[in-house]
Every structure is written in structure tokens, then in C-alpha cells.
Structure 1
Amino acid sequence: MGIIPNVAPDKQRLRYEPLKEYLAKELDTKVELFVATDYAGVVTALAAHKIDVAYLGGLTYVQAQEQVGVTPLVTEVDRETGSKEYLSGIVVRDDAPYKNTKDLLEAKGKFAFGDVSSTSGSLYPRVMLDAAGAKCSTSTLAQCPPLSKISFTGGHDATAQAVANGSADAGGLEVRILHRLEREGSIPKGRLRIVETEKVMGYPWVMRSELGGKAAKSISSAFTRMKDPQLLNLLQAKGYQRVTPADYEAVKQHAKELGLLTTDR
């Protein structure tokens, strides 16, 4: 199974070891864990049949659909929203003068995205910037006037650090990851302030469609019957619910409009 590195790959690999063991037991099969160095690497591995099951962001899933037949199975019930949706946010330092996204644009600030294929670290921050009046390029993603500079940090934790240390005036990231970084002490609580949020359909666990309906049912059931509180806590989930391609139509439409449907960057 493949995992997108929404935080540093070594941390991600360690976090998902207990899930690997759980699935191996529930499915009565050997499970190998693969964490790519970037989001596109997981899509490439799916297309090359090097992995069978993957944990993807919504954007990475619709990008994968362009290359390989994949079936979405389940997503987590988020502990913060109590639903299949979670929050993408634009953050600034607490002492910054910006009260909203428009203020940032008027100041022609520097903005940090996560991985270019991140749903809550790239696509939805771009949606919020666009709604506030930015003219982000759909072909050259590092241009988003009137913002003066665009950077891609590779992950939500790196984006939070970039804003906290002043190398970016604002950044787009997953709100629940920010809260986890605050709990862990990586980011001092209160250092960053959220100026806007947008709801996002949860990360789907997907499988290569050619594995068939029996595999889809078995893997989905392994997730939906998960009850171990320690494992759920590690995964920051209240539980899991099934999802369908229709749940990600809004993500796909936004990706088309903003030039993010392809992983070829």
C-alpha cells in the first residue's frame, strides 16, 4: 500500500506501521508499505502496478484517474468536523496585519503551498486565493499575481514552518495537521493564525480497479470495522465511511479550472 507524504516521509512511514500490521491481520495477507518522496510518486507507483492500495488526497485521486483505473473505497470521519470533510486553511503569523485573504493580496505577500498535488495544501488554497481576486496562472503554477512570490514546500509541516519563520507571509495547509503540530510542540500554539478555511472531502483510500469487487469489499470492511481506539487515535479518525467517485466531483472540477488535474509538473 502506498501513502502520500503529506508530512515528512520518514514520519509518515512510522505513523502508518501499525495500520500495516492491522490490515495484514484483517486481510490475512502480507502488506508492504510504500511512502513516496512526493505525491506524484504514489500515482506513478499505482500506474506501474507497483502498489495495489493507496491513501491519496482528493486531488491526487482525480489525477490518478487520468492515468490508471482506481476505485475510491473509504475515507476517515474527521475528529474535528465529525464528518467525511476536513478543513483546508490559509494561515499567517499571529503578529501579521492581514485579517483576511484579500489583505494578503493587497500587500502582495509571499505565499507557500505544500506539494503541488496536495488538495488542502495546494488546490483549495488556490481556490480561496482565486475567490479573493488573485489571478493565478493555470500553466505556470509559481505565478499567482498580485502575490509577489510563490513557493512549494512539499508538505504541510514545512509550510507551517515557512510561515512561522517568516520565509512566507502566508501558506495553505490542512488545519488538523496544524493542530497536531501545535500539540506536538513543532509549532508554538498561537504562532499561526487562520484567516480563511474551506471544507474538503476527506482523503480516499483507493485500490486499482482491476483487483475487483471482492477485494474492494474486503479492504473497505477492514476499515469500516476498525474499532481499536489506539489505532484510530494514531490515524486521527473517529472511524471510516465508504466513498464513491461522485464525492470527488467538486475536487475534479476545481482541478480542471485551476490547472491542477495533471501530475506532469
Structure 2
Amino acid sequence: MIDRRHLLAGVAVLAVLASPAAAQDWKAKYSEINFAVVPAENASGVTERWTPFANYLSKELGIKVNLRIANDYAAVIEGQRSGNIQLASYGSASFARARLTGVNTDAFANDINADGSTGYYSVLFVKAASPYKNVDQLKGKNLGLVDPNSTSGNNVPRFELDKMGISDPDAYFGKVVFAGSHENALLALSQGTVDVAANQWTSDDDSTLAQMLTKGMLKNADGSAMKRDDFRVIHKSAQIINGPYAYSSDLPEALKAAIAKAFFEAPAKDKAAFDRLSDGQKKGFHPATTKDWDATVELIKFVDRLRKKKAS
């Protein structure tokens, strides 16, 4: 649902775009821009998913949009900080981290889910064949996380565990490992490297697990393809706001407006490229502002305090 604040943001975009001279001014300075994406899946998967959309943006903006697949979440943050990245697809926590560390970045949109909502969840998966039904049964077992700057794969799980009285996961679990991506965390679970894995989940059809099952990436010990009922969710967080798309604050206003316009028109202008981003599980882009992630900033501050408490 788009409120008055987000509607006014959309009106501002149209006002800036009304000046053809402004477009020529920014094109003289920006003949190309770099668009960075966090590694939710393996690099080849991210490239295949995002290249058509980057090509669409190039066509709409009239300049080259270079797709940059980041090695980790921190690389996106540092890329915008250094000025090498002008446009980024962030997770909520990595965007909050960017803000907390002084990166000049402005959110302008996030995803609309199939049901019209704009949020998702952090869940803890175990294999359905395992005996584990809750976190209490996992003491001394191995926990798979995603990346230190992942929202659903690290920060929210730590917040949720703290609410259960587990303020130090490293002491509670036998081992806590960072897999590097959502896919790798689920691969570690399927292969028995970890006993429980944190991941993102919007619905049974819209999650990293669903994408991996569709691609046949998860296998049983006998080599047969795993199915959805081979996994069980033992904990689900409160809803998290979908991560933002953000551009560098110092870009010309006309360029920012052109980028936002291209995003909002994507489902109609290039449905195939848009649907490829989420295997057809999203409806469009929702106008957003940086302040929409203020609560996530507070969450990251809380997790930081937990870490400092443990270190002391």
C-alpha cells in the first residue's frame, strides 16, 4: 500500500523528469554507471538473473549500466562509499550498515511481493528427517549463517536467538559458520555440514529454498533431488522490510529520477527481465525512502551491542 509520503516521492520523480535539459546535463558526466548486487546465490546464478534487467536499465537510461556481482555484502557497501558503485541492490541490514558507517546512499524502492506486501522473514531450517523441532534441541549442534551483513542470514537470527535467551550463539552451538550466501547455507544443511541454517523466506514459492529446488541444486545422499517437504522451518521471525534499491546521494537529481522511473515501469516495459529477478514471484517495485529502514538501523545497533558485550 502506497502512503502519501511515497506518493509525493513519485510526484517529485515526474517533476524532475519534466526537464529535458537536466537529462542532457547528467549524461554529459555519466556515460555509464555501475549497478552492484549482493550475492544471494552463486555468481553465475546472480549474473543470469540480473543481466536482462541491467540491459533494460541501459536501454531506458540511454547509458551503459554495468552489472557488478559483489563478492560479499561488505563489497557493495564499500563500492558505494568509494564512488565505484552508483546503484545497488541491498539487503535491509547491509543498507543499515552502509548508513551507520557514513555511506552517502538513498533508498528509492523495494520489492512488492505477490500478495502485495513488502516484507519477508528470517527462518531457521532443519532437514525434515532430523529429530530437531525447536532451537532448544540444537544446543551443541552446528548453525549455518549467511554473511555478517545479511539481514535474514545473520542479524535477525541473532536478535531472535537473544529473545530465546541465547545471547552468545558461538557458546550455545557446537560451531557457527558463515556460508557466504543464502544458497551456500542451504547446501551446507542439505550436505550435513550444519544441522540448522538461517535463510530468507517470503512464501513457499518465494524463497532461496524454492529457487534452489526448482533448479535441482539440493540432493539427497543417493543423488536424488530433494523436495520442499525434506526441509522443516523450526523458527520464523517477525516480518522484515524488503531490502532497498539505492542510488548514491550525490548523483544528479535528474539521473536519480530517471533510475527510479525505469524501475517503476519495468514490470510493464520489460516483463521478462523483471520476472527473471524473482522467478515471477514479485509484482513490482514500491516507492520507498531511506527513513523506511530506520527500524533496521536500530536492529543493527542492537546486534552490535550484543557483539561488544560478548567481546568484553
TM-score, L = length of structure 2: 0.77
- Structure 1 unmatched ranges of 5 or more: 137-142
2:64 equivalent in structure 1: 30
User: Percent identity between the aligned chains?
Assistant: 26
1:260, distance to aligned residue in structure 2 (A): 8.4
1:139 equivalent in structure 2: none
Indicate whether 1:193 and 2:238 are aligned: no
Q: Which runs of 4+ in 1 moved over 3 A?
A: none
Amino acid at match of 2:75: G
Pair 1:32–1:184, CA change in 2 (3 A)? same
| Equivalent of residue 261 in structure 2, options 198, 218, 221 | 221
Let me know the Cα RMSD of the aligned residues: 1.8
1:261, distance to aligned residue in structure 2 (A): 11
8 Å Cα contact 1:123-1:260 kept in structure 2: no
In 2: Cα distance, 1:54 partner to 1:258 partner = 24
Amino acid at match of 2:245: W
1:44, distance to aligned residue in structure 2 (A): 1.1
8 Å Cα contact 1:77-1:239 kept in structure 2: yes
2:181 equivalent in structure 1: 155
8 Å Cα contact 1:63-1:261 kept in structure 2: no
* SS of 1:254 mapped into structure 2: helix
8 Å Cα contact 2:167-2:306 kept in structure 1: no
Pair 1:37–1:131, CA change in 2 (3 A)? same
2:5 equivalent in structure 1: none
8 Å Cα contact 1:59-1:118 kept in structure 2: yes
2:210 equivalent in structure 1: 179
- Structure 2 unmatched ranges of 5 or more: 1-34, 202-206, 219-225, 308-312
8 Å Cα contact 1:59-1:261 kept in structure 2: no
Which of these two proteins has the greater Rg computed from alpha carbons? 2
TM-score, L = length of structure 1: 0.90
1:140 equivalent in structure 2: none
* SS of 1:258 mapped into structure 2: helix
8 Å Cα contact 1:117-1:260 kept in structure 2: no
Amino acid at match of 1:94: A
Counterparts in 2 of 1:1-265, with a 5 A limit? Answer: 1-65=35-99, 66-79=101-114, 81-104=115-138, 107-136=139-168, 144-175=170-201, 176-187=207-218, 188-189=226-227, 190-198=229-237, 199-226=239-266, 227=268, 228-236=270-278, 237-259=282-304
2:3 equivalent in structure 1: none
In 2: Cα distance, 1:252 partner to 1:223 partner = 25
8 Å Cα contact 1:134-1:144 kept in structure 2: no
Amino acid at match of 1:240: F
Pair 1:261–1:135, CA change in 2 (3 A)? closer
8 Å Cα contact 1:232-1:238 kept in structure 2: no
1:102, distance to aligned residue in structure 2 (A): 3.2
- Which structure has the highest helix share of the two? 2
Amino acid at match of 1:124: V
In 1: Cα distance, 2:288 partner to 2:170 partner = 33
In 2: Cα distance, 1:122 partner to 1:84 partner = 20
- Of stretches 215-224 and 19-28 in structure 1, the one that deviates more from structure 2 is 215-224
Give a deviation string over 1:197-233, Cα, whole Å, max 9, x none.
2221112110110114322222111111122332232
